[in-house]
Structure 1
Amino acid sequence: MTLRLPLAALALSAAPIGLAHAQERVTPMTPDVVASYDQVRPEADYIKRVVMVPMRDGTKLYTVILMKKGTRNGPILLSRTPYDAAGSTARTASQRLVDILPVMDAEFVDDGYVRVYQDIRGMHHSEGTFVMTRPLSGPLNSTGIDESTDAYDTIDWLVKNVPEGNGKVGVIGSSYLGFTTLMAEINPHPALKAAMPQSPMVDTWIGDDDFHNGAFRVGTLDYAVEMSTGHGDAGAKIARGAGDDYTTYLNAGSIGDYARKWGIENYPTVRKVMENPAYTDFWSLQAVDKWMAARPLTVPTMLVVGQWDQEDSYGAPAVYDALEPKDTGNNMVSLVIGPWRHSGVNHYGYDLGALTFNGDTALQFRQRYMKPFFDHYLRGAPATIPPVLTYATGANRWEVSPKWPMGTPTPLYLGANGAASFDKPAAAGSTSYVSDPSSPVPFLPRPIDIGDGDQWKTWLVRDQRFVSGRPDVVSWQTGALDKPVHIMGAPQVNLFAATSGSDSDWVVKVIDVYPDTLPEPASQGSKPAMTGYQLPLGIEIYRGRYVHERATPAKLTPGKVENYRFALPNVDHVFLPGHRIMVQVQSSLFPLYDRNPQTFVPNIFNAKPGDYKAATQRVTWGGAQASSVLLPIVDDAQAAQVTPAR
């Protein structure tokens, strides 16, 4: 039976539906609406409690507590969410706990864990005011209240009021829940013993969600409307109708014009991004990795991210970089990179798009590493926790390594006639193309529907041959490899380029080109249609105006070669013999990112139609301005430190 507990009580019996009319005669005019229906029947194998947990400022947060009947001395596993705690704990109508909870919870509740989901303040059934990724109390937040204090107060209440618990708490969650998981680690409650942030939102200007290196991700607008209307449960959507998103955004003009067209320009989240396009204190003081770096490491942390995370690829490795120097014993911080999409760790991991893996990689991780991690810190169970656990795509195997990155940055140079080589070109030269904002390069084959999960979740592994015929996409590739090339780390772009305009975007991709032969066996991660496949391993964008200073955009000098240096996402991948390594460069990725007008304007959100002009883009190679991508290649000595995982 579902219980909604008053603050001071641990149990309250709910009256059966219809009790007030139990002795009354039913007539044709008897009202047919009842207040609620309790889905939890006496035969259910679980206990469910709903409580309003008080915070230090008096705000009460809606909290759902679930456990198997008979649970005693159970660890508490907490997730704090903006996505509806009630809905998160009602996957289907059932009397079995494993049915109603997300699939990733099964191993925990079957083994006596107490599972807790909570709506963060201002969302769904919780009281208070919602602020998107509420800043830590400090320069940007003078209230003294943040997600860190709310996590502390919640944990304090749970250990005092859940008698089935053992007094030890772990926190877990992905995406926004990854953010709240990290926040719980700042000034943590003493009962917090372990944390697993998955794909956390960490720096939404550099590489998570809102921007990537200054280029705006247009999906932020839909997210803002959905999250910030009502308490996040209004179901609000921009009513732009069906059709190709490419055409919809192109016809709207600038993103500012788009926001005004659909009446969303006054949403606070929309104003925040549109009024703050540069990396000023507005964004840099909200960067969670900087908050974590400034504080002691006291909570054992396992950071998890998908190699093809289409939303938050930056955050987990950035926090790992911030925390690892504090981990002097190499036993407090772990990094996990799986062959997954965003939040894929909590779903099914057999495949991703055209790729097939050796079994359900997500389930393998959850059973072999995720639950043992929490068992170790919340129950004292023995466990071997790897410092770094990654899945080597291409070779299709789990690997354990002592650090990250493992590989040595090795330049793959761009050269003449579309050739890429590990040898620097003997002569200098350049390759040019024309980028026209009126015909930007699509990030997916058209028609594009960013809201279509089938398109969105797998776009980062989409075969790149769909743009190979465009004159505004230029490619360089190696010859067929005669031996494997294993990379472990984040490829680093070292691009020398010029534009005839006064601003420009630069998109760089690293691609594994499959042989034009019969398909490889499934054990190598391919389905039958992989012949000639161009598999992207990393795609990233950089807005040119920030080449010298992120906080102060500046006009580019037409024709002047600038050096653009930025990172692609972290990968563990083996290029197999017979494959080729390709580097691709273009100047738009639409409508995932807004168009750069290629004419400098103070704020691209407010660019006018006349600002959008075609420009000739020139990439130099060889000589003093030799463009390359530094691949983190594992040599023999480093390979000896990498061991197969079970």
Structure 2
Amino acid sequence: MKYWLSICFAVILVLPAQAQLTTNGSFVRDNYQKTEYKVAMRDGTKLHTTVYAPKDASATNQYPFLMQRTCYSVAPYGPDAYPAQLGPSETLMRNKFIFVYQDVRGRWNSEGTWTNMTPNLPDPPAATAKKGRKAAAATSSTAGAPDESSDTYDTIEWLLKNVPNNNGRVGQWGISYPGFYTAASLPDAHPALKAASPQAPVSDFFFDDFHHNGAFIQAYLFTFPVFGIQHPEPTTKAWYNDGFIQTGTKDGFQFQYDLGPLKNVDKYYKDNFYWQETVNHPNYDEFWHKRSIIPALKNVRPAVMTVGGWFDAEDLYGPLTIYKTIEKNNPNTYNTLVMGPFGHGRWSRETGHTLHSNVYFGDSIATFYQRNIEAKFFNHFLKSAGDGKTGESTSGLPEAYLFNTGRNEWRQFDKWPAADAQTKQYFLNANGSLANAGGTGFSEFVSDPMKPVPYTEDNTTTSGFTPFNYMSEDQRFAGRRPDVLTFQTDVLTEDLTLGGEIMAKLKVSTTGTDADWVVKLIDVYPPDEPNHAYMPNKNITLGNYQQMVRSEVMRGRFRNSFEKPEPFKSGEVTDVNFRLQDVLHTFKKGHRMMIQVQSTWFPLIDRNPQTYVDNIYKADEKDFRKATHRVYDNSVIEVQVLK
């Protein structure tokens, strides 16, 4: 299992574009010259940096840089070892750039100490007076403590001076954690950084990847060796394989359940520093605050294209939040958002028929994105005018290029959320209706943490490195349980397009003192819906299919503050408000819109004891108790509707 997890993680999260074979496997070797460097940062730490320069580069034929910084390895190592592909796509590889790959500090073949998420640190006053700490790097090796922003700055400065035949422009991209490094390049950016594309970027580990609204994503449990084990010196071999948990089964649900309370994970991860940090920081304290890139996204000068997938089970919060934050803080910056019908990073390689779980969205959608959106962005800002007019016409790329996952078509917006979106409320009525008005009653269910609601009925996916398919899976298995509430509209007589933000505004009570609240937005297909030609699971019928469109969890103790949790008062009606991530989805005529509400979602999230304890990571078996939860009829789901 160790080997499989390592390879799986590399293919899905690390360098997905490089895992994609080109039509001519020798293209990279025939057209690029590889050179490996040790690039010194301002504190003397040397980072392994691989440069692939076009062989036809010259003083009269200069190329821009296109760089990826990663904690997942820039393999293959060695001057004569070439990958099958370079860059974000084959299109850009054939367009030719000086491609740069760098192991970040403390990872793989680079020196230094590894720290999860070290975004832009505040400038000391003296450095600010000298036009910023990053700029001071050219003359000082002591201008503030290093972080990923300064390491990016220092790397660009070195590349411009030491790699010949460059045109003085730099672009950066990365998917997942490398997406974070791309976002971290933006504050106090080097003047030569002209274009950056954070793709599925990690932004804040308390809200995406390892947590959602403070609830621990237990499905990530197997990833901790990658993030929580140091290596003593630069290496080209994976040093963390011995840290992987040996489950002895492919049934991840049962293994996670048999673990019992999270405190029992210590027998596997006692020496894993990131697990211990997670356990000891259950609330949104300074430890997490200083690891968030969001507050640092000010003074952003490079052009930005943030990319995400509507069905990204790992990083959906990141791209939407980074885009909106840059838009708010930097109104004059070229800033665009792209969201496609993809799981995590799947826009980086073409699959032909584009599916997520059992849902088919069309053909060659990744290729469309690569050629008509991504390549246009980088070619314009790195090779052409760079004036923001990125198309053949004067309009260029739109503010937002988003895929409607109900109509299966791309839409362009000049603002997101759209200026003409109308806010509408749907009430959760005790009779099971999702209606325009609420009643005076309530719905209730018994939540038993010892019999949690599964997040998927596909056990083959529960022992993988991270979840994937559940984001669009059929929810009939959940909706038929007594501990899952369902509310749905009448059959729609016309199309209904939700486009924008979603808020859950719940009025709830519990007989316990803590509870999680899970809300799922679901598209219910008509009974006679035919199966499409590419069904991956022949045992599934699309008639009455309950496609999950969006979902989110709120750990109830954080309903008023992520920094200062508080218990529920047993039996007291309480507001629990939280945002589901954005959506662009048309519920077609003949379909229904459904909301499901539940309190367990295992093992996607850890089990809440439903008895308030200071730290759930340290809860005992005795703390886990049944509780009766009520959802009152004046609870609403607030959506934005497009005409």
What TM-score does the superposition give when structure 1 sets the normalisation length? 0.85
Could you tell me which residue of structure 1 aligns to residue 62 of structure 2?
Answer: 73
Within the candidate set 344, 367, 372, 1:342 is matched to: 344
Within the candidate set 415, 431, 444, 2:429 is matched to: 415
Within the candidate set 345, 365, 370, 2:369 is matched to: 365
Matched positions, count: 579
CA contact under 8 A between 1:199 and 1:312: conserved in structure 2? yes
Change (3 A) 1:408 1:526: farther
Cα distance in 2, alignment partners of residues 233 and 275 from structure 1: 27
Could you tell me which residue of structure 2 aligns to residue 109 of structure 1?
Answer: 93
Cα distance in 1, alignment partners of residues 358 and 26 from structure 2: 41
Could you tell me which residue of structure 2 aligns to residue 487 of structure 1?
Answer: 498
1:596 counterpart = 2:599: no
Cα distance in 2, alignment partners of residues 222 and 202 from structure 1: 21
Return the offset for 1:107.
1.3
Within the candidate set 250, 261, 267, 1:261 is matched to: 267
- Name the SS of the counterpart of 2:363 in structure 1: coil
Cα deviation per residue 1:545-590 (whole Å; 9 max; x = unaligned)? Answer: 1112221111110111111111112211111000000000000111
CA contact under 8 A between 2:182 and 2:197: conserved in structure 1? yes
CA contact under 8 A between 2:303 and 2:335: conserved in structure 1? yes
Could you tell me which residue of structure 1 aligns to residue 133 of structure 2?
Answer: none
Counterparts of residues 180-579 of structure 1 (less than 5 Å):
180-205=181-206, 207-231=207-231, 233-234=238-239, 235-236=241-242, 237-257=244-264, 259-262=265-268, 264-292=269-297, 295-328=298-331, 332-348=334-350, 350-381=354-385, 382-383=390-391, 384-406=396-418, 407-421=421-435, 423-425=436-438, 427-445=439-457, 447=459, 449-452=461-464, 456-519=467-530, 529-579=541-591
Cα deviation per residue 1:517-552 (whole Å; 9 max; x = unaligned)? Answer: 141767999999322111111111011111122211
Cα distance in 2, alignment partners of residues 448 and 497 from structure 1: 35
- Name the SS of the counterpart of 2:431 in structure 1: helix
CA contact under 8 A between 2:209 and 2:314: conserved in structure 1? yes
Cα distance in 2, alignment partners of residues 517 and 115 from structure 1: 51
Could you tell me which residue of structure 2 aligns to residue 615 of structure 1?
Answer: 627
CA contact under 8 A between 2:609 and 2:619: conserved in structure 1? yes
Return the offset for 1:507.
0.4
Within the candidate set 71, 79, 89, 1:82 is matched to: 71
Counterparts of residues 126-205 of structure 1 (less than 5 Å):
126-138=110-122, 144-205=145-206
CA contact under 8 A between 2:479 and 2:596: conserved in structure 1? no
Cα distance in 1, alignment partners of residues 422 and 28 from structure 2: 60
Cα distance in 2, alignment partners of residues 273 and 352 from structure 1: 31
Change (3 A) 1:524 1:41: closer
1:56 counterpart = 2:56: no
Cα deviation per residue 1:117-173 (whole Å; 9 max; x = unaligned)? Answer: 110011111111111112433499996110111101111111112213211000100
The one-letter code of the counterpart of 1:127 is: E
Cα distance in 1, alignment partners of residues 455 and 319 from structure 2: 24
Change (3 A) 1:51 1:41: farther
CA contact under 8 A between 2:198 and 2:319: conserved in structure 1? yes
CA contact under 8 A between 1:277 and 1:603: conserved in structure 2? yes
Cα distance in 2, alignment partners of residues 228 and 602 from structure 1: 24
CA contact under 8 A between 2:524 and 2:547: conserved in structure 1? yes
What TM-score does the superposition give when structure 2 sets the normalisation length? 0.85
What percentage of residue pairs aligned between the two structures are identical? 34
Change (3 A) 1:615 1:88: farther
The one-letter code of the counterpart of 2:314 is: E
* Structure 2 gap ranges (5+): 1-24, 125-141, 232-236
The one-letter code of the counterpart of 1:386 is: P
CA contact under 8 A between 1:498 and 1:560: conserved in structure 2? yes
* Structure 1 gap ranges (5+): 1-38, 636-646
Change (3 A) 1:547 1:599: same
Query: Which of 161-170 and 235-244 deviates more?
Result: 235-244
Could you tell me which residue of structure 2 aligns to residue 44 of structure 1?
Answer: 30
Return the offset for 1:209.
1.0
CA RMSD of aligned residues (A): 2.8
CA contact under 8 A between 2:187 and 2:300: conserved in structure 1? no
Could you tell me which residue of structure 1 aligns to residue 635 of structure 2?
Answer: 627
CA contact under 8 A between 1:476 and 1:583: conserved in structure 2? yes
CA contact under 8 A between 2:358 and 2:535: conserved in structure 1? no
CA contact under 8 A between 1:393 and 1:525: conserved in structure 2? no
Return the offset for 1:328.
3.8
Change (3 A) 1:88 1:598: farther
CA contact under 8 A between 2:360 and 2:532: conserved in structure 1? no
Return the offset for 1:432.
0.6
Return the offset for 1:379.
1.3
CA contact under 8 A between 2:508 and 2:629: conserved in structure 1? yes
Cα deviation per residue 1:456-492 (whole Å; 9 max; x = unaligned)? Answer: 3212111111222211111000111011111111211
Return the offset for 1:52.
1.1
Change (3 A) 1:170 1:142: closer
Cα distance in 1, alignment partners of residues 636 and 44 from structure 2: 56
CA contact under 8 A between 2:85 and 2:93: conserved in structure 1? no
Return the offset for 1:230.
4.5
Change (3 A) 1:41 1:594: closer
Return the offset for 1:246.
1.8
- Name the SS of the counterpart of 2:519 in structure 1: strand
Cα distance in 1, alignment partners of residues 28 and 520 from structure 2: 56
